[in-house]
Amino acid sequence: MTKFFRLLFLSLVTACCLAVSLCPNVSKVVAQDAEKERVVVNLTDDGRALINPGMGWTCHFYSNVPKNYGSRLEPSDTLDWFEGCSTVYLRLPWAYIEPEEGVFNWAIVDTPAQRWIDKGKKVAFRFTTSENWMEYATPKWVFDAGAKGERYQWGKGVTPDGPNVDPVFDDPIYLEKLSHFLEAAGKRYANNPNVAFIDVGTYGMWGEGHSSLGVFKEQTFSRMTPERTLAVVKTHIDLHKKYFPGVQLCISDDVAGAEKQGFDFPETDYAFENGVSLRDDSILVQAGDRAWFHADMAQKFWPTTPVILEHEHLQGSIERGAWDNDKLLESVEAYHASYMSIHCWPDFEWEHVADVARKINRRMGYRLLPSRIEYPKSVVIDEFFDVKWTLQNLGVAPCYGGGFVALTLKDDKGGIVSVLTDESFDVRDLEVGAPGEAPKTERTVRFRVGHVAPTTKRGVYDVYVSVGTRDGTPVYELPLPDSDGKKRYKIGTIELKSK
């Protein structure tokens, strides 16, 4: 019996070996057969500048002084040639907008704003009440009504015959009149989808909050105690929160101290707690290690709100030897910035920053990429099928507005046959990484086409990928070719079969 089983065992082994030799790599063949039934698309960043919500270059059309820097632009010129310019920034003294109490000059801001809005771009504002180059940034009628003010001469200090007048920033009459102005502005710009952000800019020189710091020690207002300073900052934040709901607010880093370094400060902590983001006014004022001071401060803000960088007036920075294109790019990484200013004559700036701007455009803000998509070559109508995709954010900041990946099937006439959205994952949650090291998020999603309705015919259809709202409406430009003009990007075809 033992010999019999030994011979039987040897026979079985021989048979198995023969079978393997006749059909080598069985598992590989099966895998290859399976692959023939799947479409695998590997997608790479095409390097284009993207115009997306909540990010981009901001053109200082008005930079306090009305002629700077949009006065040379033709009415039709919205800087489409400045790659990545998404927003026009209008920073003006209150006195230019409400020259008489209750009489408003909204055309001064609405005209340039509508030029950009008409092109599908955004607008941002700062309304200031303190300037060192004009007598009354806060309208004279506010002081005539009894608001307290201080005359001073820039560089010399408070003097009865000084050419400039500043408000006392917590004076009750000043705050009452300011509230009425912000209420009127809020009727126009609160909950307005065309508004990218509004600065809390009604406190301090140029709206930067310097009066709390003692930076300009020649001014009387720099003598405010820390307790009073904090109270004033809170008051101005609260006013903007009250009158601009539904708008991203931001505040200058200088309210905490122009050169104070660290993570936590009472003024910016209060801003953060109230959903107000941070802007640095300004980087590259000085050179080298003193090019900026508040990258640490930004670490609290960028995970939840967009950080805005404003570089120094370009010509002034160049003249002082402070300008450095490499530092400009480095600042975007250090702050995880979503916005960067065009703080000069736009043509002059593009001439000096074009090369680095293209590098910045591949990192600033968010940059959503479905880097790999796998789906069946053919599916049966009204039967489930799986789609696998790998998602990445190649930028430095989250996509704060969030969104969902969708596949859209179209016929040869461009008609939408089916819209399939993955509502189970929000691209807001994609992590960011160092250049070339964006983390990958892999997803497997189950869809079906033509369940109940609408009528779906068998045939071969184009497949597009997009990112947008839950209902499949595209919102974001992706760094991909083959757009349908509506932010959907063709990745291949799929065959729909009948049961």
Residue 479: which domain range? 39-47+367-497
Are residues 383 and 342 part of one domain? no
* Whether the predicted pLDDT of 471 surpasses 80: yes
Which whole number is the average pLDDT over 153-159?
A: 80
Q: Tell me whether residue 341 is in a domain.
A: yes
Q: Tell me whether residue 329 is in a domain.
A: yes
* Whether the predicted pLDDT of 30 surpasses 70: no
Are residues 339 and 371 part of one domain? no
Q: Tell me whether residue 4 is in a domain.
A: no
* Whether the predicted pLDDT of 309 surpasses 50: yes
Question: For residue 215, what is the domain's CATH number?
Answer: 3.20.20.80
- Lateral strand order in the sheet of 459-468: 378-380, 489-497, 459-468, 404-410, 416-421
Are residues 413 and 324 part of one domain? no
pLDDT band at 36 (very low <50, low <70, confident <90, very high): low
Which whole number is the average pLDDT over 391-404?
A: 98
Output the pTM of the full model. 0.90
List, in order, residues 6 or more apart from 313 with CB less than 8 Å away: 63, 282, 343, 344
Distance, in Å, from the CA atom of 320 to the CA atom of 384, rounded to the nearest integer, reads: 65
Which whole number is the average pLDDT over 227-232?
A: 92
* Whether the predicted pLDDT of 119 surpasses 50: yes
Are residues 383 and 288 part of one domain? no
Are residues 447 and 341 part of one domain? no
Are residues 375 and 262 part of one domain? no
Q: Tell me whether residue 19 is in a domain.
A: no
pLDDT band at 249 (very low <50, low <70, confident <90, very high): very high
Tokens of 330: 């480095």
* Whether the predicted pLDDT of 8 surpasses 70: no
Which whole number is the average pLDDT over 268-289?
A: 97
Distance, in Å, from the CA atom of 127 to the CA atom of 185, rounded to the nearest integer, reads: 10
Domain end marker among 341, 361, 381: 361
Domain end marker among 342, 361, 380: 361
pLDDT band at 223 (very low <50, low <70, confident <90, very high): low
- Look up residue 123 and give its amino acid: V
Q: What's the confidence (pLDDT) of residue 211?
A: 58
Are residues 272 and 164 part of one domain? yes
Domain end marker among 346, 361, 376: 361
Q: What's the confidence (pLDDT) of residue 159?
A: 85
Which whole number is the average pLDDT over 333-340?
A: 98
Are residues 372 and 348 part of one domain? no
Which whole number is the average pLDDT over 440-468?
A: 97
According to DSSP, the β-strands at 85-93 and 65-69 are: unpaired
Are residues 218 and 324 part of one domain? yes
Q: What's the confidence (pLDDT) of residue 219?
A: 44
- Per the structure, the count of domains in the chain is 2
* Whether the predicted pLDDT of 67 surpasses 70: yes
Q: What's the confidence (pLDDT) of residue 22?
A: 31
* Whether the predicted pLDDT of 24 surpasses 90: no
Q: Tell me whether residue 18 is in a domain.
A: no
